[in-house]
Amino acid sequence: MPKDDEEYARPARPPDTSSLAEVREASSECTACHLYKRATQTVFGEGPKSASIMLVGEQPGDYEDVAGRPFVGPAGKLMDQALEEAGIDRSQVYVTNAVKHFKWEPRGKRRIHKKPNSREIAACRPWLEAEVRIVKPKLVVAMGATAAQTIFGPTFRVTRERGKLLSSKLAPRVLATVHPSSLLRQPDEASRQREYKLFVTDLRTALRAASEE
Ligand code: SF4
């Protein structure tokens, strides 16, 4: 891919509306950065407008790109299991990503996830801002470094701040934790179990925070 294509990004411009459906529709036409060119479709967030918790991940993966829905692949299934264990009903939360198109590179016949860069994240941020503005969740859960840095800036470290209730310009209450895909990358079963339990603990904290008046 030519370098200038990689660098092409300007802020997306969501419509000024309180309708999630209208914003979703507008996002399906977004060409604010080059990522739309190689992805199947925009993967906008989903969930009720009345959700008190908004979960934010990094970007859609291979499964999500094809399905057009967030968190439906292996990491999403693990997240669903953790949500259930934490007492959170997925159908009652709003789930989205910091970047709405799948960024990937070919490896043989496979499409391998590639981390979005700061220009792509900044270009896509207005869609997330629109989702937060319309849903007005009591708590945003930033899952993984990309989501957390989209909200708090590039110096934010999830390892230092995870599980704490923080505030940001984007949303008054934010809790940062790991991305569920990191649980799948653990080197052995013992670490996977340990990290999974910590993730569930963070989700329980999120539920308590979102239940407070
Ligand atoms: S990644 Fe975001 S900013 Fe870039 S084209 Fe897709 S929706 Fe638009």
Q: Is 52 in the pocket of ligand 1 (CB under 6 A)?
A: no
Q: Which domain holds residue 146?
A: 17-211
What is residue 62's predicted lDDT score, i.e. its pLDDT? Answer: 96
Token couple for 128 = 């997330």
Q: In CATH, what number is assigned to the domain containing residue 72?
A: 3.40.470.10
In angstroms, the CA 36 to CA 118 distance is 16
What is residue 4's predicted lDDT score, i.e. its pLDDT? 56
- Residues in contact with 168: Cβ distance below 8 Å, sequence separation at least 6, in sequence order: 140, 151, 152, 174
Residue 171 lies in a domain: yes
Dist. CA 197–CA 188, nearest whole Å: 15
Tell me if 202 is assigned to some domain.
yes
Alpha-carbon gap, residue 173 to 45, rounded angstroms? 19
Using 50 as the pLDDT threshold, list the residues of the chain that sit under it.
1-2
Q: Is residue 168 part of a domain?
A: yes
CA 132–ligand 1 middle distance (angstroms): 17
pLDDT at residue number 209:
97
Q: Is the CB of 98 under 6 A from ligand 1?
A: no
Instruction: Report whether residue 150 contacts ligand 1, using a CB cutoff of 6 Å.
Output: no
> 12 CB less than 6 Å from ligand 1?
yes
Judged on CB neighbours under 10 Å (0-12, 13-18, 19+), 101 is buried
Amino acid letter for position 209: A
Q: Is 123 in the pocket of ligand 1 (CB under 6 A)?
A: yes
Cα angle, residue 143 at apex, residues 141 and 149 outer, rounded to 5°: 95
The verdict on residue 5 lying in a domain is: no
Number of domains in the chain: 1
Residue 9 lies in a domain: no
**Can you read off the two tokens belonging to residue 60?**
């859609």
The verdict on residue 8 lying in a domain is no
> Residue 101 Cα, ligand 1 centroid: separation in angstroms?
6
In a domain, 1, yes or no: no
Residue 4 lies in a domain: no
What is the secondary structure of 96-122 as a DSSP string? EESS-S--EEEETTEEEE----HHHHH
